[in-house]
Amino acid sequence: MLLCVGAAGYVGARVLTGEQRAYAQVKAKPFTLRLDFYSYGKTPAGELYAREITARRSDGTTVTARTVGTVEKNLQARFLTVPGRDRVEAHDALGLKTTWPSSPQAGGLLDRLSSPRPHCLYGDFVLFRDDIVLGHPVSVVRRERGSERTTCWYAEDLGCETLGYTYEQKLADGAWKVNIVERATALVLGEPEPSQFTIPPTLTEATPSETNRRYFQLLGAKRTTAERQSSEPLDQPDVRQGRGRNTAPAAAREVLGNLLPNPAREGSQGELRAEACLLYRSTSNAVRDNFRPS
């Protein structure tokens, strides 16, 4: 029972809704994917600031292990999602976990696995071109909002998993400057290593803001007021439990807006802070997996 972690009584006793039962037999293409994250704030050559490994079983259960702080620290947090069930963040180095409860509105991951949209076109993204990443076909989709441009490489047959990402900002002369890049460096199809999905039952439940505070403390980094205020709204039940189809996603996305890469918020040297990046990635994936996109 992978999700009987700490909240065993809560998870084990909860009755699946009709929608959750309908997705109980979802079939997914299993894989293991590694992504490297680069920041171009300090050098045109880019600086590796994060790494993550995502593994998905054929039943749709997905776990992502992501670095915390600098890659050299070799400190990771794991994010476990079971279709139709709660999403658990395991912070082994802290002895903590954070649970994002499922809800009647939940279904982002379920929908992407069972019936992904053609070319993974969600929201206001448009198809830019088709491409191949590590020998795998992907759809390249793009969105422009004012002076910001986002491009994503999605594998439709892998539940619209991200195999590449760039975030750019338009300069005064009209040229686009690359700020953030996610690059797939390895993709292996087939059932992943089972041990990646095991979460120790000894982890203690903690709020997102407490977990964020503890990471800053562990890394010896000073947390700014803006970073503290950005994490605290995630503790609200309406955001984490999905009460209300519109209000919960909106509240979480407002938090994401405060954490998106932005030169004014990236720190004194212009780099994307690794600690803030962890919180952003954690929140963005929880929103993506727990709420259906428009």
Q: Which of 251, 257, 250, 248 is nearest to 276 (CA)?
A: 257
Instruction: For residue range 147-201, list pLDDT tens digits in order.
Output: 999 999 999 999 999 999 999 999 999 999 999 999 999 999 999 999 999 999 9
pTM, to two decimals: 0.74
Q: Is the per-residue pLDDT at 116 higher than 70?
A: yes
- Residue 129 gets which letter from DSSP? E
Strand partners, 54: 33, 64
CB 194 within 8 A of CB 209: no
Q: How far is CA 192 from the centre of its chain?
A: 19
Instruction: For residue range 26-66, list pLDDT tens digits in order.
Output: 789 999 999 999 988 778 888 998 899 999 999 999 999 99
Residue 241: its pLDDT value, please?
56
Residue with the two structure tokens 């209000």: 247
Q: pLDDT higher for 147 or 70? A: 147
